[in-house]
Amino acid sequence: MTIPAYLRAVLLALLSALLLILSFPRFDFEFLAWIALVPLFVALKDKSLKWAFALSFLMGISFLMGVFYWINVISGFKWNDFLILGIYLGSYFGIFGLGLNFIRQRTNLHYSFAAPFLWVSMEYLRSHAGFLGLPWALLGHSQYLNLAVIQVASITGVYGVTFLIVLVNATMGGIIQNPAASLKPAMVTLFIVGISVSYGFVVMGKDSPQKEFRVSVVQGNIPQRLKWDPEWRKRNLEKHIGLTKEVTSKTSTSLVVWSEASVPGALSQDLYLLNTLSNLAKETGGHLLLGSSVHPKFGSREFRQKNWFNSAFLVSPQRGVAGQYMKIHLLPFSEYLPYRDAFPWPERWASAGGDFIPGKEYTIFDVDGAKFGVVICWENIFPDLVRQFVKKGASFMINITNEGWFGETSAPQQFLAMTVFRAVENRRSIARSANTGISGFIDPYGRILAKVEDHNRKDIFVEGHVTADVPLFDGKTFYTMYGDVWAYINLIATTMMLALSLRRPRHDVP
């Protein structure tokens, strides 16, 4: 391969990365995702396995570092941490390119029959890699505004949407390289995409549920630098109380939701906080869902004083604290340090790991017969965790979070995009209260019903509240019942293709 050919391949890989970045929030040119991988597939043609890995790795690390740029605004996060993260995540894409060319060199499989299964497999593995599991910037997430396409997620999860995108890209890449050999794959692609989109339109055309439940979400917009300042804690609490009184004076609402850690201190263990918020619930005549922390009740004195549960509390006008959910999926290197006693983490990382411990119960709250579950912060990006609440009877979901860490970046929009998929996967409305935004409501079909916005339509770093009647669903989708069956099918198909490839010698492919 000549030097210009090497350079051309590198530029094509970088072009794919750029197109993918533009397809995600905040750019939201979602149509670009359907052609974004074509340059990469062209670049991979006839490349050695080493070059296939290198080009795909380059595309992956460029794409993800472009999407994850916002992580650099977090206090204490260093450029070398960002590089390590990029190398780790980029390696999944490198393995995809290596595996794809390995299969292509040893079988007659067309790109469109190999690439989608392999890509979905790598996304699933990246999402379930223990404490390093990160189901963020999955290809399907780019389509959160493309409602007809994403309805298939109620069967396949987000991986089904990813499959469709890669299928279209691989088919077009094959057509460019060998039109004659791509006729049948193109027909199969049109059929699969057509069936999926038709399913989406049919589902969205069905009648909405008759039952609704009125919820208000409050966005306090507390600056991160002041959130834990002792001199500001009372003022921050008073701001939330004022917003709650304001919204309840304007409309009747059954539940007012505050964001993650909106109540400073241990709510159930602080008599002042408990009385203040119980009286607020009585005064407004509705329930409050509040984010706070609490020490464990059991264990040694040292254990109880050192550790915390990141929690959501339901405060009733009649009974005070009526329920508590303790966050199950903690954030590594922030709320806890993975394998703290077994692995010699650098001191800087070790000191950043918090003293939170995970809860174990998928708590279902009940307000006037409306049952709901709560996920805290990044728990909402894990589809299997959310569906457990729905399996246990939640008719809608609430996500409380604090995204003030990320400044005015695209991180809140990316969180919102993933929240849309949690709604579609389980056919459940989702109410979202974020300290600095984005707060609002998503219906069971992924439509964004309302957001907290100012007069300029700005939805982050503004304070306010919004109320909506959220539709209540009681049925369970295929995805809710059976989870990532589609991803498992892709893993099995990938394993079979690799096994077949190992048994065959290399040969030229069309």
More confident residue, 304 or 297: 297
Vertex 501: Cα angle to 495 and 506 (nearest 5):
160
Look at residue 347 and tell me if it is in a domain.
no
Whether 200 has a pLDDT exceeding 80, the answer reads yes
> pLDDT tier at 63 (50, 70, 90 boundaries)?
very high
Whether 2 has a pLDDT exceeding 70, the answer reads no
> pLDDT tier at 228 (50, 70, 90 boundaries)?
low
Pick the catalytic residue: 45, 47, 227, 327? 327
> pLDDT tier at 119 (50, 70, 90 boundaries)?
very high
Q: Give the C-alpha separation, 483 to 477, whole Å.
A: 10
CATH code assigned at 271:
3.60.110.10
Q: Distances in Å between the alpha carbon of 334 and those of 348, 352, 353, 354? A: 12, 6, 5, 5
Mean pLDDT along residues 305-312: 84
Q: Which residues of 270-292 are buried (b: 16+ CB within 10 A; e: fewer)?
A: beebbebbbebbeebebbbbbbb
Name residues whose C-beta falls within 8 Å of residue 499's C-beta, 6 or more positions apart in sequence.
none
Q: Give the C-alpha separation, 115 to 188, whole Å.
A: 14
Q: Which of 191, 127, 131 is nearest to 159 (CA)?
A: 127
Query: Based on the number of CB atoms within 10 Å of its own CB, is 47 exposed (0-12), middle (13-18) or buried (19 or more)?
Result: buried
| Residue type at position 501 | S
User: Which one of 184-188, 233-237, 344-348 scores highest in mean pLDDT?
Assistant: 184-188
Q: Give the C-alpha separation, 496 to 489, whole Å.
A: 11
Q: Give the C-alpha separation, 476 to 140, whole Å.
A: 22
Q: Give the C-alpha separation, 144 to 417, whole Å.
A: 5
Write down the pLDDT at residue 353. 63
Specify the range with the lowest mean pLDDT, choosing from 235-249, 264-278, 440-454: 264-278
Indicate if 154 and 289 belong to the same structural domain: no
Indicate if 388 and 283 belong to the same structural domain: yes
Q: Give the C-alpha separation, 209 to 3, whole Å.
A: 62
Pick the catalytic residue: 30, 123, 260, 379? 260
Indicate if 66 and 43 belong to the same structural domain: yes
More confident residue, 22 or 336: 22
Mean pLDDT along residues 113-122: 96
Look at residue 439 and tell me if it is in a domain.
yes
Indicate if 494 and 415 belong to the same structural domain: no
Look at residue 59 and tell me if it is in a domain.
yes
Indicate if 165 and 216 belong to the same structural domain: no
Q: Which helix (H) or strand (E) holds 372?
A: strand 370-376
Indicate if 162 and 255 belong to the same structural domain: no
Query: What's the token pair of residue 301?
Result: 């004195």
Indicate if 266 and 392 belong to the same structural domain: yes
Write down the pLDDT at residue 507. 59
| Residue type at position 225 | R
The total of structural domains in the chain comes to: 2
Pick the catalytic residue: 377, 403, 425, 453? 377
Query: What's the token pair of residue 382?
Result: 């894990």
Indicate if 63 and 85 belong to the same structural domain: yes
- Percent of the chain whose predicted confidence (pLDDT) is above 70: 95
Indicate if 494 and 420 belong to the same structural domain: no
| Residue type at position 414 | Q
DSSP helix/strand/coil, 297:
coil
pTM of the model: 0.93
Look at residue 342 and tell me if it is in a domain.
no
Q: Are 193 and 168 in contact (CB under 8 A)?
A: yes
298 DSSP assignment: S
Indicate if 200 and 218 belong to the same structural domain: no
Look at residue 369 and tell me if it is in a domain.
yes
260 among known catalytic residues:
yes
Whether 509 has a pLDDT exceeding 60, the answer reads no
Whether 461 has a pLDDT exceeding 90, the answer reads yes
Look at residue 58 and tell me if it is in a domain.
yes
Pairing of strands 287-294, 309-316: antiparallel
Mean pLDDT along residues 355-362: 92
Specify the range with the lowest mean pLDDT, choosing from 95-99, 179-183, 358-362: 179-183
Mean pLDDT along residues 214-239: 83
Q: Are 154 and 425 in contact (CB under 8 A)?
A: yes
Look at residue 441 and tell me if it is in a domain.
yes
Write down the pLDDT at residue 170. 96
Q: Which of 8, 81, 39, 21 is nearest to 410 (CA)?
A: 21
Indicate if 311 and 409 belong to the same structural domain: yes
Domain that includes residue 265, residue range: 212-332+361-472
Indicate if 411 and 492 belong to the same structural domain: no
Look at residue 346 and tell me if it is in a domain.
no
425 among known catalytic residues:
no
Whether 232 has a pLDDT exceeding 80, the answer reads no
